[in-house]
Amino acid sequence: MQHADDDMPTHRRWADLHAGLVSRVADLCALRGYASCRAVCASWRAALPPPTSRPLAPVADGGGDTASRHGPLSLAVCSVHAQRWSRLLGLRQPSGLANATGACRCVGARDGWVVLAAANSKGAAAAASVVLLFNPVTGVEIPLHASLYDPNCERASPSTSPAPKVVFSPCPTARDLAAVSICRPNRLAVQRTTDGYSSAIVLDTAALMDGDDLADVAFDGNGRVAYCLTRHGAVHVLRLNRRRRRGRLRPIEIEPLVAGAGTDAAAFPAPYDTIARFTDAKNLVLCGGALYQVWRRPSGAGSAVACDQQLLRIPEGAVFVLRYEPPASPAGGSRRPPCWSETKDLGGHALFLGANDAAAAARGGDGAAELMRGDCLYYWASRAEGDYEAFVYSMADRMSTRLPPATGGVSSPLWYFLPAGAANVEEATTTTAMEAA
């Protein structure tokens, strides 16, 4: 005898849902709701990376009602499972840009903070800027000096100028911070604030760096020193001297990383001394106590053929990673000079390059490896449409793979990570959900 129940369709358990579908459901939730989704079961938790391990990027709103709904700051996360970018809901919006007349854009990010900048007067010959350090989780705002962002420089040559970038010291407060930006190809803007006393200066680096244009800037872990990278690969150390003496901040000091050399050309072994001249996209990274340079032949630049001591072809999109080897004196041997040498790995880290202060993340479990893969570089390339697309480069395979495109486009080439404190939101929500179960 056949029972009616035998003809009923078999329903799958919630835990058996495909990871892509779980990701789509969770991406419709704000931060607390996302954390609750991770508490449903082990398979959902494995499919959803922790909130603080998900790299985000600023996306364009497209104007109209969408822009008014999301506000000037809209961040999205890339889900490889779902093959899409989804806006992170529940973030706070800044109020310090209310008087700005130009479009707002992200020009820096670090440790849960973003730097927002906008022109303060449209069409002016020397438009003033509004620059703001903002935490979209807590809503804290810290005004920065206008000299850190020069919209005229960006408009002068948008196709050749790198995206604007402002880097800043860890754990910034209104009374204690340092910020540095490349406001012109050969000018550094520096703001130093100590015990509430603030000072800003623009440094002309042309003479100091043999006329070589600046390519990147990065802070060390304690915020006392910044490193400046030039187009040809020379690195200079910027000592900020944030201590006050007789009521004034001490002068800023700039010196080459390789002492006694205006450039680092002599520190590059062949063929990298030649490759340095044909890789226009350069980044400086501090990771695991080591200093790295990342060179790329940008998309759209075509392949380059150099003939120095040997014929050398540098294909479009080629990536080179070099590690700084400081001078050393081996036992019983002569002193080894400092040099840059190509490295085959990144110590298991994933590096995120862009207008943010380069972020290094160690590959972890618990769903964190959905996007973050060890010994990989995540970087941005400009598109003809005027926005940016993301790529991941594997050190092992020496291949770059394009990540899923963002609907509406990524407006600024930077990566943003939620601050460590956001994990407390997840822990509290997870505990409540498990107790209720």
Segment 160-187 shows an average pLDDT of 88
Averaged pLDDT score across all residues of the chain: 79
DSSP structure class, residue 170: S
Check: CB of residue 32 under 8 Å from CB of residue 90.
yes
Beta strands in 80-175 (DSSP E): 84-87, 105-110, 113-119, 129-134, 141-144, 166-168
Pairwise CA distance, residues 138 & 57, whole Å:
18
Q: Higher model confidence: residue 361 or residue 160?
A: 361
Q: Which of 9-18, 59-68, 230-239 has the highest mean pLDDT?
A: 230-239
Share of the chain above pLDDT 90, in %: 29
Task: Say if residue 271 is preceded by a cis peptide, omega within 30 of 0.
Answer: yes
Q: Rounded CA gap, 342 and 323, in Å?
A: 6
Q: Tens of pLDDT along 313-332?
A: 899 889 999 999 988 766 65
Work out the average pLDDT over 125-135.
78
What is residue 21's three-state secondary structure?
helix
Dist CA 322 CA 341 (whole Å): 5
Q: What is the pLDDT at residue 34?
A: 81
| Residue 194, burial from CB neighbour count under 10 angstroms (0-12, 13-18, 19+) | middle
- Tell me the residue type at 61: D
Please report the pLDDT score of residue 333 as a whole number.
Answer: 60
> Does position 291 have pLDDT exceeding 90, yes or no?
yes
In contact, 343 and 277? CB cutoff 8 Å: no
Question: Does residue 275 or residue 154 have the better pLDDT?
Answer: 275
> What are the boundaries of each domain within the chain?
18-48, 94-257, 269-328
Q: At residue 123, does pLDDT exceed 90?
A: no
Helix, strand, coil proportions of the chain in percent (round to 5)? 15, 35, 45
Encode pLDDT of 383-392 as tens digits: 877 789 999 9
Least confident residue range of 145-149, 298-302, 348-352 = 298-302
Residue 341: strand, helix, or coil: strand
| pTM for the whole structure | 0.83
pLDDT of res. 43 = 87
- pLDDT at 322 (0 to 100): 95
**Could you read off the pLDDT of 193-222 as tens digits, one per residue?**
988 888 999 999 888 888 889 999 999 878
